[in-house]
Each structure stands twice: as C-alpha cells, then as structure tokens.
Structure 1
Amino acid sequence: MILARIRTGCLVLACAAIGLSPTASSGQEQIWRHAISVLEPAKLPADFKRLPYVNPDAPKQGELKLSDEGTYDNFNPLVDRGNPASGLTLTYDTLLVSSEDEIGVSYGLLAEALSYPEDRSSVTFRLRPEAKWADGQPVTPEDVVFSFDSAKANSTTLANYYRHVTSAEKTGEREVTFRFDEKNNKELPQIVGDFPILPKHWWQGKDASGKDRDISKTTLEPIMGSGPYKLASFQAGSTIRYELRDDYWGKDLPINIGQHNFKVISYTYFADSDVEFEAFRAGNIDYRQENSSSRWATRYDFDAVKDGRIKREALRNAFRATGVMQAYVPNLRRDQFKDARVREALNYAYDFEDLNKNLAYGGLNRVDSFFWGTDLAAKGLPQGKELEILNGLKDKIPPRVFTEPYTNPVGGDPQKVRDNLRKAIALFKEAGWELKGNRMVNTKTGQPMRFEILLNSPSAERTVLPYVASLKKIGVDASIRTVDSSQYVNRVRSFDFDMIFGVWAQTMNPGNEQSNYWGSQSANQPGSRNLAGISDPAVDELIKKVTFAPTREDQIAAVHALDRVLLANHFVIPMFYSGETRIAYWAKLSHPEPLPEYGIGFPSLWWAK
C-alpha cells in the first residue's frame, strides 16, 4: 500500500521543462516538467535513457520465490479493511515513481509531465498516450479521478494523508488536475503522484459470476492493473503468483529499463517465523530480509552459507536518507497512560542494554529520536531558529526542552538497573501511584497498574518478556497477548489495545504525513498512524511549521523542535533498530553493483542468473 513505501516530498522543481502553455486561471505560463524533487534539482534530464543504477542488460527470466508471515484476504489496495496481499504494487502503476539514487526525486511513470502554479494551489498531470490497462484500454483522466475519489472515500489512512487535496478533475484530453485547500504546501504536488491508479471501467463492471464489483469492499478476485505484472493465481491466504506481462505498455520506458526482470514472483505465507526461516534454508524461498539480530548472529552457520550458495549482506543504503522510530506505544486514550510521568517511568523500567547483549548479541542501537539516524534528529540543547520556535511555545511545552537534551536511561548492570527502577517508582509516585506490597496501585482509586502488550507474532514474545519481567519488579502487571494478523490489524485500526510496537519511517523531507503520525486531527481517526493518540496543541503548531517552512533551514529547525517536544512528552518508549538492511539470498539471484545510494532496489532491479 502507498504508505508502506518510503515516501518523498517536494521542495524544489526539477529544472528541465517539457513545454510551455498559458495557465487560464492565473495567466501564468504553464511549465511542464518531467520530474520533481525535494532538495536539489533532479539529476536526470528530460531525455534520459535509463536510471544510472540499473543493469540494462539484465535477463528477463526465472522465478523469485518470496515469503511473508501471517495471511491475507484482500487484493483491493484502496480500502483499509482486511489484510492486503503482498506484492500488489507489482500490478499497478502510479503517476510518478521515485528515484533510489536521489533524495526525494520523482520522475513520471503514467504521467509524462506535471505542472503547477507558483503558489502550488494545484497540480496538473499529463498522461502518456501509450499508457494502457492489461485489457488494452487506455489509462484516462477518468481513471485517475475515480481512483483518487475512491481512495479518499474508502481509506481513512489515504483520506487523512490527502485531506488537503479537495478535488481531482479532468482538465484536458489527457490531463487531470488536483486542487488543494491551502497554498504553498510544497509537497502536495508530489505526493498526489503516489497513490494506486485503478481502472474505472473494470471496477464498475461485473465479475466472472455476473455480480457488480465494489471498490469500497475487499476482494479476492485478481484485480486488473496497468503494471508490469499480473496476478496469475493464488490460494486464499496461503500463496500468490505474479507473472510478468509480455504486453506491459511501459516496458520500454527509460524509467523502466533494467527493471522488472523476473518472469514470475511468488509469495508463500507462513504462520511461524521459524518455519519460514527453515523454508529459506531448504531452498524453498530465495530471499530473506532478516529482522532478528539474534538469528542473524547465530542461525546463519549452515552449509549453504559456508560454501557460498547463500550470500549475506548488511546494507546501510536505505538508512542514508531514512529516519526511524521503533517504540513501545502506550495508548494515551487509556487513563493509566495519560500522565507523562507514568510513560517516563515505563522507559526507566526498560533495560535495553541487557536485551541487546543477551538476545541480540550487540547487534542493535537504542533509538533516541523520532528521526533517528539522520541530521533531522535533535541534538544537544536548542539554538538559533529552533530556539526561537520553541520560545514561541514556551507555555505549551515541558520546561526540560530548554535545559535537558533527551537521553534514554542506561541499564546493563545491576546497580544501574536498581537505580532506574527506583527512579521509575519515584515517577509513579509523583503521578499518583504507589507501591503497595508487590503491586503498583493508584492512590485515589486503588486500581492496579495493569496493561496488555498486543503482538501479532509469537517471534516477538522473546523480545517483550524481559520487559514484562522488569515491570513486575516495580509492581506493574504487564501481560502479553499474541493474536493472528487479521485480528491484530483490526484492533490496531480501531485503537483497541493498551500497548503495541510501533515503527515510523521518516524521509529527509517530513511534511503532511506528520499530522497523520502525531496530529490531534488524526488522534481518533480509525486507521490513522497516530497510534499513541497524541493530541497536543504545541505538536500541532510544530507540524504546521514543518509543513509550511519557507526554506530548508526553517524546515530543519522546525523538525528539530518537533522531535524535541515529542521526546520530552514521553509519548512512546523508544526501542531499538539495527540501522541496516540485513539480507540473505540464494546465489542464483544477482543485483547491480553498486546498488543505488538510498535503496537496495529489491525486487525491481534484481535478476535471476
């Protein structure tokens, strides 16, 4: 789905113009451009022949066998309900596609050009005349309008993400225009190029049984798209097979040269991550991204690794331009988590150092920023423009923002752990809780501090159990509940949890998505990414400053201030991240050397030998 990708924004237009025509509404000259960028003009000219990081001679052959954990029950990418199937993006195209060799640069895919006025109150895309659906019908402005209207009507996530886009309308034979309810929001012209474009005539037709299709509902009918692959076959909830289309309209576009090289891409689902790993070991799965540091350190010692039939790589590429926050997320909609001192106390009970040593073999790093790993992370004490911004919010933010750089508690040895637990008990006491016997109870109501940590995989339990044991030492009754993926998705979408894991990926151009992550408007919108339920006036003001920053310097200062305020309120308990993509794959697969600067290009750039 669109928001599962690393998203980019737009601050600076690409230099090359494709053509000029007058803009009827403003009298301005309409500049058609082939690309749009975040920080610097796009590197590639309008007549580029291919992306610089692909292998243009990569063979089109073989099957790529992949896996996923859990199950699926939906092929419709424009609804929030159900579990979307892996690989759906293979079947549809978008208006724009991002470069993995530049930060925040997008080039036209379905759109051959785009244009917008100086105040960025709208954006117009001109579709390629050769763009076709799998049934041979052309991709039209009506398809784009239908897809956008359906996305906003049927997906809370997309409706929130595109809430400042008021309309999409056909404005020419091959032109579609998006209009915005605010001016000078510099990323809106770019992000409307990201959502899936689906065929209006297919969705408004009938299925094989003669029933009307419904874009507002989940479906297990293989959908038709305009993308390089077709959904060829499946076993519901278990397997999916995608086949490369020989008649793909865009296969010779410069943006696609050297890409989409596997004849078949298939997915097999597993209920257990250990069984999934054994399938990879046995050669039934070709590629694995390893998310367990302990498994990475201890389980890759079998013969296929030793003799080179399986290759292992730990790559920094994607993290060169991606900040990450992974954390325990207390649900602030629950009364027991409303006090920031309680949330801070929960951090003091978390012994990352012991977990890293004993479970991850030292392979993890503690996250201490919502933009961890990038220059957007706040450091030291606020200065300059950042300090000016924070001074304007002085009565709305914790005073410690001005006097104490954020740091996580440090454990790892018995004395430090004891000191941290004492601090946790003291913070609970300040917040109106006290330790009675072996239970932490509310001094007014007598209710115990009790909550459930909701998980969607048994493999995560070993990471959580040490935290649960630590909490029990200070009388906090934390428990683990592991549910199947369908139930987990539904409960998270409706905020029916006490605490969960949360992961947010940040680009180098934070913008509109910040409202979906932390803004008051999304706090009670089912399906939003505001998992914690943050509703804070200062955070809302800072999000606006980030989104409407007039210069890059102003934007960075506002992001630093936002990061600092989010941390000071202890909205989450930061966890850890490795800071690299750890992959293992059978040697029959190959990829370009070098890989793109900011990504690993999987699977689109890879090929079978």
Structure 2
Amino acid sequence: MKAGGMLARRDFLALGGAALAAPLLVRDAFAQLPTDTPLHGISVFGDLKYGADFAHFDYVNPDAPSGGRIVTQSPARIYNQNFDTFDTLNMYVLRGNAAFGMDLTYASLLASSSDETSSMYGYVAETVVVSEDRLTWRFTLHPDAAFHDGTPIKASDVLFTLTTLRDLGHENIASTLREVETMETPDERTISVTLKADAGISVLLTVAGAPIFSESWWEGRDFQATLSQAPLGSGPYRVGRFNFGSFIEFDRVADHWAVKRPVMVGRYNFDRIRYEYYRDRTASFEAFKGGNILFREEFTSRNWATDYNFPAINDGRVKIEDYPDETPSGGQGWFFNTRREKFADRRIRQAIGMLFDFEWTNANIMYGLYERSNSFFEKSDNKASGLPNEAELALLEPFRDQLPPEVFEEPYVAPVTDGSGRDRNQMRAALAMFTEAGCKLDGRRMLLPSGEQLTIEFLGNSDTFEPHHNAFIRNLTQLGIRASYRIVDAAQYSLRLREFDFDMVVSRFTMSLFPSRFIRQVFGSVSANSPGSFNMAGMANPAIDAVLEKIIAAKSQEEFTMATRALDRIIRAEHYVVFQWHKAARWLAYWDYYDRPTVSPKYATGVLDTWWTRPDKVQATGMTG
C-alpha cells in the first residue's frame, strides 16, 4: 500500500517466511522434488531458477564494494515492532516494542530469492533431504556456519530456536511452528523436522526461514523479558550503538562466515545500517532534507506531490523515483471492531462505508495518485469478479443460509461518488441502509436499534492521516453519527491494538501469491480474540473458517485460486473493512551517494541488501569509523 497518509509505513506487515508460504500441503507442494537426495534449495511450484552450481543471484553485483552507511526508517513492521519507538531487542515475542533491523543479525537454514515467489536456497543449511512422504526434512548444516563469537552453529541451536519460538514466541510464528510433529538432532550438523500430516507448506518455509539463536547465550535468560543486551547472532550484521526510542545501528560483520555462500554474494554491502525513529512525520522529513536520513520511502501523497522540490533535489544531490511495484497490493482500509455490538450488523457497517467519499479524497488530498481498493487481493488473480463459478459455488453453497445473498452475486464494489465530498444520492442510500438495519435518524442523531447514538472513534498515532479521517468524519456527522479521530502515543497505540480497544483503526495486509496457515491469523475465528493477533476486525465466521481450510489444503493452483476468490466474496459482502486505495509504484528518495545493480529484484527494492555506497561518497554518508 502506498497511502495518502502513513499507512504503508504504519501497518504494512512483513510476515517473513510465512508471507511467502504456499497454501498446499507439504507432500503435495513438493511432489516434484526427488526424495532421499541432497538438495541445494526448494521451490514450491515448478523448478528452481538457480541450479546447484549457481554463484549468486542475478539481481546482485558480485563485485560490489563494501563501505559507507545508510540511514533510513523502516517501511514495514514484523511481529512486535513499532514505527515510532523501541524498548527491546527481541522482535520475536509479544511483549514490548522491538527495534527494526534485528533480523539482520540472524542467519537461517535457507534464504529466499527476491526474483522468485516461493524458492529458498541453502544458507546455514548446506543441503536438505526430503523423505518419500514429504513430511520429514533433514537439514545438514554448513561446516563453516558460526555465530559472531566464532562458535559453530549446531543442530542443537536450531532445535532450541524452533522449540523456543513454538513455546514462547509471538503467536503469529508460534501457531505455525505448532504444526511440527517432531524435531530430532541425530548429530551436531543434522536437524530433522517432521511435520504433521495435514501441515501446510507455510510450516516448512517458516522452519527454513526462522532466525537461529545461540542456545548457550540464552541459557539463564528469560526469552519473553525485555531485552536490552544485544543477543549473539550469526547474520551479516551485529548490533552497534543504540539509544532506546531514538536510533539503532547495525555494523557489518567483515569476516562473516557466509560471505561466499551463493545466497550472500554481492549482498549487504553497507558497513553500517542505521534506523532512525521520529514520532513526528514532519520532523523525519526535515531530517531527510538535512541529510540526517539518507534513504526514504515516501507514503504521503501530499508530500510526494508538493514537498520534493527542495534545493538538494533541484541541484541533483537527492534523487527521487517511482519504483515499479509488481507485488499484489493487498488490502488497506478502516477495520471495524466487530467485537463491539454497534458494529455487529453488516448493514450498519456497509452504510458507514458508503459515507467515505474516495473520489473527493483522492482529488483533494491525494492529488489523484491512487485507485480505489475493494479487496485484500488487488492486483492478483485471487480477486473475485463476476458471478461465482461452479468451483466457487461448491465451496459457498454449504453456507448459503449463513451468508448474505450478495456473496452469490457480483462481488461488492464501493459506489463511485460525484466527487463533491457531499454526494446527496450517496447520503440518501446510506440513510436507507441504516434504516433497514433498524437505526433511526432522530434530529441530528443517528440512533442504533438500542436507542443509543452511533459513535465512532477512529484510533491513530499520527496527525499525518488526519485530513483523510476528517473528510470521512464530515460525512458521518452529516448523518448524525458522532465521529472523532483520536491520536495516542506509540505505547498506548500498540497496547490498544493488542487488546482490541478501538472502534475503527487503519491497517493493511498484503496477501502473498501463496497464502498459508498464517491467513488464519488475519481472518480466522481462532485469532479473533487472541491478544496481539492480526485479526483486527474480529472476524469469527464459520463460512470463512471453512474456506480458509480449503485454501490451506488446496492441492493445485486452481483449487487455491478458487478458494481464495470465495473468501474474497465473503469478506467483501460482510463489510468488515472500509477499503481505501492502492497504487502500482513505490516512491523512493535518497541522497546521491549510492549505486545499485543493473538488474533489480522483481519482488523487492533491494535497497539494504543489494545497493552499495560509491567509494567516493563514503565520507559523505557520515561514516566516522
């Protein structure tokens, strides 16, 4: 999502291995892989792009020089991270607000390719062998794999990691790892993982992409407690200087054990990566203009359209570009908290959504740079369209009596307004929907069937997005709804999200081309009341649960697509979300200190892991040793 406000940076969820996971069962997904044969990588669909003798990924420069520094802010959060602050160095638990970049300090069994959708190659694991039933996976560790203190990475460390994350980790990774049946370490260099018979492929990819912790370093420490000491890692960077809530630096490990591994050649070339934290978006932009932040991804259309004309851009010291985005755009919007009775009726939710005038907002606040979203599956074949076909109907028919009739019609598309910001026809249609739901307009108050006035508090943690809310609130107020936008500090915002203490909140979820069991965390009843889950709307719908299981158990791409479209129809008809907008590019701005490969990765910008500092600009980046 590229938002008119801060949404991409605020609520985009990078889900690690789970985000790239496929819906198939492991035994079905990897049916093409030879068994009992050491493999250099695995691919869910089709062949691996890179053969066993590949030297490096195509989108890197193997001769890229190392050096220099990049200073940035993160565009995505994982697990317990917070865009505005941090107070712990453990990003894999529910407690606290973790620092960005901690994943740079850990190696994993396999590493993903950014120009394929579902392929992983050997990293800490030298090879992987799959059993005939495709449920047991035996990883043999590379003999050079080591932690930053020089101690070797052992199979027992991997076992400790997976067990700890399963038992004590953030629910969004723990729930996936609970689908592992057994784990064994036949010797110091071998870890054998057996999955449950009905495990989705996400389980294997999560195992393969999980960070590897040092068992000895964590001995005697509480994994779930606030962590203020840098843990022992094994990745390309180690924690450098940091100041909680302000900044954190990561220093490149010059003698990193994996520097010649094919998955690492030409990557992670900056000597230092620094993340800055600003709670005020204006302050962070001023920091960029002044050269204190060196790379910035912009998410505010107003800023992109009007503010990128300062002297450093005009004289070429700062470069700006629209970077093509080939990934599905996902779904961004205002989520209703259906745990609250006032939002229990889908007709009330639909009527509220009808009062958002996208056309006016796009033209007057976002400079016409966006398209309206209507689905979590925008820009992908998984988005529903037209009438449901035979395969979709087969999934939906058993629940016809429990579903709105609209599920079996053309999927819901938000109405187009006249762009005036006060479309009277749209107001009348919304009022009719409220009336159908048993609401009553009493003077200047919209009364719920209970007789109470309908109130909505939009929760946020930045005033950057306030104009978009105000445009929505203005129309809600016209129909007697008492609506407001409440901004709270970062700590309170995180706490209230974890406890689902809100009426409506903005989030964005990108659905990969290969959804996994993780999809339950976003849409499933199992997560509706689990603190910290990503089920923001509190969806607890038996029909959705049944379709989710079909997605997870699909045995072909066609089955997966049909099940996902069925899910899309239900979610859109139930109006759990007032969808907002999307665009097909990412807005990048950076000081002209850097260079990059001629080939870009298809599914990422590659900034942190494939760019490098031009040797003549090292000092300009602020490196002082």
**TM-score w.r.t. length of structure 2:** 0.90
- 1:563 corresponds, among 559, 568, 583, to 568
AA paired with 1:396? Answer: Q
Q: Deviations over 1:435-458 (max 9, x none)?
A: 111111123x32111121111222
Q: How many residues align?
A: 588
How many Å apart are 1:269 and its aligned residue? 1.3
Q: Deviations over 1:277-323 (max 9, x none)?
A: 01111111110000011111111112221222111121223xx2334
Query: Take 2:387 and 2:193, find their aligned partners in 1: how far apart are those partners?
Result: 41
1:550 equivalent in alignment to 2:572:
no
The 1:88/1:184 distance shift into structure 2, 3 A limit, reads closer
CA contact (8 A) 1:76 1:219 kept: yes
Query: Take 2:38 and 2:532, find their aligned partners in 1: how far apart are those partners?
Result: 36
- 1:135 corresponds, among 134, 149, 152, to 149
AA paired with 2:172? Answer: T
Q: State how 1:80-119 maps to structure 2 within 5 Å.
A: 80-119=94-133
How many Å apart are 1:16 and its aligned residue? 7.5
CA contact (8 A) 2:384 2:568 kept: yes
SS of the residue 1:451 aligns to: strand
CA contact (8 A) 2:107 2:124 kept: yes
Of stretches 256-265 and 134-143 in structure 1, the one that deviates more from structure 2 is: 134-143
Equivalent in the alignment of 1:417: 423
The 1:480/1:52 distance shift into structure 2, 3 A limit, reads same
SS of the residue 1:391 aligns to: helix
- 1:467 corresponds, among 468, 472, 476, to 472
The 1:406/1:158 distance shift into structure 2, 3 A limit, reads same
How many Å apart are 1:98 and its aligned residue? 1.1
AA paired with 1:329? Answer: F
- 1:350 corresponds, among 332, 356, 359, to 356
1:247 equivalent in alignment to 2:255:
yes
Of stretches 462-471 and 149-158 in structure 1, the one that deviates more from structure 2 is: 149-158
How many Å apart are 1:405 and its aligned residue? 2.7
CA contact (8 A) 2:269 2:611 kept: yes
Query: Take 1:509 and 1:565, find their aligned partners in 2: how far apart are those partners?
Result: 19
Q: Deviations over 1:213-270 (max 9, x none)?
A: 2212121212220011111111121111111112211111111011010011112211
Query: Take 1:597 and 1:330, find their aligned partners in 2: how far apart are those partners?
Result: 34
The 1:197/1:322 distance shift into structure 2, 3 A limit, reads farther
- 2:196 corresponds, among 173, 181, 188, to 181
Q: Deviations over 1:448-502 (max 9, x none)?
A: 1112111122212222111111111111111111112222112111211111111
Q: State how 1:317-466 maps to structure 2 within 5 Å.
A: 317=325, 320-414=326-420, 417-443=423-449, 445-466=450-471
AA paired with 2:347? Answer: R
How many Å apart are 1:169 and its aligned residue? 3.2
Equivalent in the alignment of 2:288: 280
Query: Take 1:182 and 1:430, find their aligned partners in 2: how far apart are those partners?
Result: 48
CA contact (8 A) 2:36 2:132 kept: no
Equivalent in the alignment of 1:7: 19
SS of the residue 1:192 aligns to: helix
Equivalent in the alignment of 1:67: 73
1:200 equivalent in alignment to 2:215:
yes
SS of the residue 1:30 aligns to: coil
CA contact (8 A) 1:456 1:488 kept: yes
How many Å apart are 1:167 and its aligned residue? 4.1
Q: Deviations over 1:362-391 (max 9, x none)?
A: 011111111111111111111142233223
Q: Deviations over 1:71-118 (max 9, x none)?
A: 111101221111110111111112221111112111121112223334
The 1:165/1:425 distance shift into structure 2, 3 A limit, reads farther
CA contact (8 A) 2:87 2:245 kept: yes
Query: Take 1:182 and 1:488, find their aligned partners in 2: how far apart are those partners?
Result: 40
Q: State how 1:22-61 maps to structure 2 within 5 Å.
A: 30-61=36-67
The 1:411/1:118 distance shift into structure 2, 3 A limit, reads farther
How many Å apart are 1:30 and its aligned residue? 2.0
- 2:185 corresponds, among 166, 170, 191, to 170
SS of the residue 2:378 aligns to: coil
How many Å apart are 1:176 and its aligned residue? 1.7
CA contact (8 A) 2:441 2:480 kept: yes
1:270 equivalent in alignment to 2:284:
no
SS of the residue 1:148 aligns to: helix
- 2:301 corresponds, among 293, 299, 304, to 293
- 1:257 corresponds, among 261, 265, 271, to 265
1:158 equivalent in alignment to 2:173:
yes
SS of the residue 1:472 aligns to: helix
Query: Take 2:190 and 2:55, find their aligned partners in 1: how far apart are those partners?
Result: 25
CA contact (8 A) 2:342 2:448 kept: no
Q: State how 1:480-499 maps to structure 2 within 5 Å.
A: 480-499=485-504
SS of the residue 1:124 aligns to: strand
CA contact (8 A) 2:115 2:603 kept: yes
AA paired with 1:288? Answer: R
SS of the residue 1:481 aligns to: strand
Q: Give the unaligned 5+ runs of structure 1.
A: 18-28, 205-211
Query: Take 2:132 and 2:306, find their aligned partners in 1: how far apart are those partners?
Result: 56
Pairwise CA RMSD: 2.0
- 2:541 corresponds, among 519, 536, 544, to 536
Of stretches 137-146 and 177-186 in structure 1, the one that deviates more from structure 2 is: 177-186
SS of the residue 2:285 aligns to: helix
Of stretches 62-71 and 127-136 in structure 1, the one that deviates more from structure 2 is: 62-71
CA contact (8 A) 1:8 1:191 kept: no
**TM-score w.r.t. length of structure 1:** 0.93
Equivalent in the alignment of 2:5: none
Query: Take 1:244 and 1:186, find their aligned partners in 2: how far apart are those partners?
Result: 33
Equivalent in the alignment of 1:125: 139
The 1:73/1:94 distance shift into structure 2, 3 A limit, reads same
Query: Take 2:181 and 2:474, find their aligned partners in 1: how far apart are those partners?
Result: 50
How many Å apart are 1:552 and its aligned residue? 1.0
How many Å apart are 1:182 and its aligned residue? 3.3
Q: Deviations over 1:402-453 (max 9, x none)?
A: 222321121243498212221222212222211111111123x321111211
Query: Take 2:542 and 2:141, find their aligned partners in 1: how far apart are those partners?
Result: 41
Query: Take 2:566 and 2:254, find their aligned partners in 1: how far apart are those partners?
Result: 51
Equivalent in the alignment of 1:21: none
Query: Take 1:488 and 1:139, find their aligned partners in 2: how far apart are those partners?
Result: 38
Q: Give the unaligned 5+ runs of structure 2.
A: 1-12, 75-82, 615-625
How many Å apart are 1:570 and its aligned residue? 0.8
AA paired with 1:227? Answer: G
How many Å apart are 1:14 and its aligned residue? 9.5
SS of the residue 1:183 aligns to: coil
- 2:90 corresponds, among 76, 84, 96, to 76
1:310 equivalent in alignment to 2:326:
no
The 1:331/1:505 distance shift into structure 2, 3 A limit, reads same
The 1:2/1:120 distance shift into structure 2, 3 A limit, reads farther
AA paired with 1:584? Answer: A
1:218 equivalent in alignment to 2:226:
yes
